[in-house]
Amino acid sequence: MKTYKRVLTAILILTFFFSIKPLYLLSQQPDLTLEQIFEDPKIEGSRPYSATFSPDGKMIAYLWKDSERDTTTALWSVFTTGGKSEKIIPNIKGGYRWLPYPDEKKIMFREKRDVYVLDLTTGEKEKINGNIKANSFPIFSPCGKFIAFPSKDGIWKVEIKTKKATQLTLQRGMFLQWSPDGNKIAYIYNSNLWVVYTKSRKNVKLTNEPELKERRARGWPFSMSGIRQYYWSPDGNYILFVKRKPDTPERDIFVANYLTKYVTKRPARNSFPDSRCSIITVGLISLKKNKNKLKWIDLGEEKHFYFRGGYWAPDSKKFAIVKVSEDQHNRHIIVVNAKTGEPSIVDHEYDKAWIGGPGFYLFWTKDSNNLIFTSERNGYNHLFKVNVNTSILKQMTEGNWEINYVIMHPDSQRLLYSSTKVSPAERHFYIISTDGGWAKKLQTEKGYNKRAIFSKDGRYILYLHTDLATPDDYFVLDLESNSKPVQITYTVPQRFKIIDWTIPEFVTFKSSKDNETIYARIYKPENFNKDKKYPCVIFVHGAGYLQNIIRSWTPYSENFKFHHRLVQKGYIVFDIDYRGSAGYGRKFRTDVYLDMGGIDLEDELDGVKYLETLGYIDMKKIGIYGGSYGGFMTLMALFKAPDTFACGAALRSVTDWANYNAPYTQARLGFLPENKKIYEKCSPIYYAENLKKPLLLMHGLVDDNVFCQDSFQLAEKLIKLGKDFELMIYPSQRHGFTDPKSWIDEYGRIEKLFDRYLK
């Protein structure tokens, strides 16, 4: 018996040793491997998402995959005050919703088109849709007693408690919405707006538009035909809807798949800088007394514009429409009288570059007399209030900082916003009254706080918090006490925590052109020696309008991990928020207007000059790399400053802006036929003859954002010029790589490029 116990003990010890061996090796390993950086599951684990409060505000549900133990995403619950999370649905493939009864703890979810209700108190799971398959997630009636969903044979209504099902239509429909009074359901069918009465089952076609035979690829705003958006008035008497008619030349645009037996193709976006945006018309249907009267709203002579939302006033007597001109220089807020259909412009904003910024938000005040919205008109995105009766405008917040997120408190008398007031690198929350009388900073932790939501009673906010080398987790803040935020999820795995991650140093330098402050980060080795000369890699973030110099788990997590590896290998890594980046106000954002690859590149070159002042950078051994817009910038750096960098890697790069989509490119460079010279000035392909140093081009073949066409066209140009370069194509990958093996191959090649030419 003793022998048996000794053997069993030895087995347990060995089992424990082998179970921790990978972590032990990881902590002792001098270099983080590419396999560890790009492995699936990720070393930082998966991030929790879709968190919501229960109706009574006492519990929170969220989705998360515990990558240390599970292969599937689960639904978890935790008390608002914190504690241990409980896995309540082990394998959930769709969304979920709390049932709206505050005295119960029940959650609805869908499995293989079946709808279930889970009682968190008893643990019982009940199927409520019988044999009727739900083609989309059900929507709750305003009273919370019914759900509705489309099935293959029409739209169905189901009473949740009795499970009684009623077929409302024979048409499938899409984009279902209950009327606020719960007596009707509106839906889209064949590009027309319909309404079905839930008691009589009377089915009424409200519009008479040509039926849409097919929906174009990707759902870009300028390629969505027919009616796709509509808005119920709060009293249920009106429906505001938007009709789009594309005005883009018909082109057979596709991306090819070479991995099938025969080469196949699939449609891609049909939008280029010579495309026009859709013709927009806005209609209003009155359902009073079942007369279904339709009025078309006169929004002026301009028919091509971007529709940015419809907003009903609480009194249902009027609504606001936001339209942005096709050239994106003008934004109008128009208030329409619901009874007469008469429009009036209550606010007009003009931007000589383009209307944009960190986000547009608009809210009605409780009395239906004022609109509160965000605007960059004074240099930074701030809150403004306009009286819709007098058009008198007042600024509610001000300063050299910007607001990037706003939500209304459930009492409709306060707003919560996040801003850069503390630092451009951080985000913190503030509460402000709708009358603009006061504003208060909340007790959020140092770092980056985002995506806040209120509990139904408005007492708590739930949000994500992150910091450098600290991935996102959920926190709760009690607004009625002076307590600090409570962390309620702990989702970062141990394998991530045991690594002593390189924390970059935040620095600034001045632009040589206009003395603008440029923000950057430097990653240094642990055993850094200021008397030594180090090779340097400059990383250029993508998207153009994106911020990467932040106290946050970066949107470029793979690059953060890769930079840690480069530092371990003896490199200095430098990362800049160049001109056009988010977080620094309107001027910084729009300085690239008609000058992409100009002033933003000068910021990168000024960064190189800053590096020279440090004294520990080997100025002959500086490499550069980036993807998407970062790839574009890498090419411009190698072509326009050919003696500055020793080598560069350009991933999924725009090489000719004439190939990119309309909304993004037209905003920055104008309409292609009129601005052809500007497009040429800002496109790397027109500077290819200047290439002197080693270049590595890489692109996913089925990229349907920046087409692989860009890299192919540049490669052909470089071949004709007799230039030496390398090109790698990834046949199965789109713009954002998803295959770990492709990631590893791509960054392995980048690393070899730097090792070859910088060491």
* 222 found inside a domain: no
Q: Compute CA distances 610 → 371, 521, 605, 607, whole Å.
A: 46, 12, 9, 5
Q: What is the mean pLDDT of residues 336-357?
A: 97
Give the pLDDT confidence score for residue 31 in this predicted structure. 81
Residue 275 has pLDDT above 80, yes or no: yes
* 698 found inside a domain: yes
pLDDT bucket at 290, cuts 50 / 70 / 90: confident
Give the pLDDT confidence score for residue 223 in this predicted structure. 41
Give the pLDDT confidence score for residue 500 in this predicted structure. 95
How far is it, in rounded angstroms, from Cα 759 to Cα 756? 6
Q: Please, are residues 741 and 731 in contact by the beta-carbon 8 Å criterion?
A: no
Give the pLDDT confidence score for residue 251 in this predicted structure. 83
Give the pLDDT confidence score for residue 418 in this predicted structure. 98
Query: In this prediction, what percent of the chain has a pLDDT beyond 90?
Result: 87
Q: Where are the alpha helices (DSSP H) in 126-215?
A: none
Lowest mean pLDDT among 25-34, 48-57, 559-568: 25-34
178, two tokens = 């209950």
pLDDT bucket at 211, cuts 50 / 70 / 90: confident
156-204 pLDDT per residue, tens: 999 999 999 999 999 989 999 999 999 999 999 998 999 999 999 999 9
Residue appearing with tokens 């100009």: 598
CATH no. for residue 740? Answer: 3.40.50.1820
* 357 found inside a domain: no
| Cα 537–Cα 543–Cα 548 angle in degrees, nearest 5 | 55
452-472 pLDDT per residue, tens: 999 999 999 999 999 999 999
332-345 pLDDT per residue, tens: 999 999 999 999 99
* 48 found inside a domain: no
Burial class of 259 by CB neighbour count within 10 A (0 to 12, 13 to 18, 19+): exposed
Residue 250 has pLDDT above 80, yes or no: no
Residue 2 has pLDDT above 80, yes or no: no
How far is it, in rounded angstroms, from Cα 68 to Cα 721? 52
In this structure, how many other beta carbons lie within 10 angstroms of the beta carbon of residue 604? 25
Residue 220 has pLDDT above 90, yes or no: no
* 679 found inside a domain: yes
Give the pLDDT confidence score for residue 18 in this predicted structure. 39
Give the pLDDT confidence score for residue 603 in this predicted structure. 98
Q: Please, are residues 314 and 364 in contact by the beta-carbon 8 Å criterion?
A: yes
How far is it, in rounded angstroms, from Cα 357 to Cα 409? 23
Q: What is the mean pLDDT of residues 284-299?
A: 91
Q: What is the mean pLDDT of residues 323-339?
A: 97
664-697 pLDDT per residue, tens: 999 999 999 999 999 999 999 999 999 999 999 9
How far is it, in rounded angstroms, from Cα 341 to Cα 337? 5
Residue 4 has pLDDT above 60, yes or no: no
Residue 312 has pLDDT above 90, yes or no: yes
Lowest mean pLDDT among 245-254, 361-370, 616-625, 740-749: 245-254
Q: Please, are residues 262 and 186 in contact by the beta-carbon 8 Å criterion?
A: no
* 182 found inside a domain: no
Beta pairing partners, 119? 106
Total domains present in the chain: 1
Q: What is the mean pLDDT of residues 361-385?
A: 98
Q: Please, are residues 251 and 275 in contact by the beta-carbon 8 Å criterion?
A: no
pLDDT bucket at 30, cuts 50 / 70 / 90: low
Select from 179, 158, 169 the least CA-distant residue to 108. 158
Residue 217 has pLDDT above 70, yes or no: no
DSSP characters over 667-687: HHH--GGG-HHHHHHT-GGGG
Strand segments, DSSP code E, in 479-636 are 486-487, 505-510, 517-523, 534-540, 572-577, 617-627
Lowest mean pLDDT among 211-220, 462-471, 544-553: 211-220
Residue 60 has pLDDT above 90, yes or no: yes
Angle between helices 629-640 and 599-614 (to 10 degrees): 70
Residue 704 has pLDDT above 90, yes or no: yes
Residue 228 has pLDDT above 90, yes or no: no
For CA atoms 410, 413, 415, 416, the dihedral sign is negative
125, two tokens = 């799971």
- Is 254 strand, coil or helix? strand
Give the pLDDT confidence score for residue 246 in this predicted structure. 86
Residue 297 has pLDDT above 60, yes or no: yes
| Cα 357–Cα 681–Cα 252 angle in degrees, nearest 5 | 80
Residue 221 has pLDDT above 60, yes or no: no
pLDDT bucket at 94, cuts 50 / 70 / 90: confident
Give the pLDDT confidence score for residue 224 in this predicted structure. 60
Give the pLDDT confidence score for residue 147 in this predicted structure. 97
Give the pLDDT confidence score for residue 182 in this predicted structure. 95
572-607 pLDDT per residue, tens: 999 999 999 999 999 999 999 999 999 999 999 999
Residue 1 has pLDDT above 80, yes or no: no
* 577 found inside a domain: yes
Give the pLDDT confidence score for residue 615 in this predicted structure. 97
* 741 found inside a domain: yes
Domain of residue 592 covers 503-758
Q: Which residues contact 409 (CB under 8 A, 6 or more apart)?
A: 415, 416, 431, 454, 458
Distance from chain centroid for Cα 182: 32
395-444 pLDDT per residue, tens: 999 999 999 999 999 999 999 999 999 999 999 999 999 998 788 999 99
129-160 pLDDT per residue, tens: 999 999 999 999 999 999 999 999 999 999 99
- Which amino acid is located at 526 in the chain? E
In this structure, how many other beta carbons lie within 10 angstroms of the beta carbon of residue 81? 13
Q: Please, are residues 602 and 513 in contact by the beta-carbon 8 Å criterion?
A: yes
**Mean pLDDT of the chain, nearest integer:** 93
Q: What is the mean pLDDT of residues 472-479?
A: 97
H or E stretch covering 594: none
486-497 pLDDT per residue, tens: 999 999 999 999
Distance from chain centroid for Cα 86: 28
Q: Please, are residues 471 and 492 in contact by the beta-carbon 8 Å criterion?
A: yes
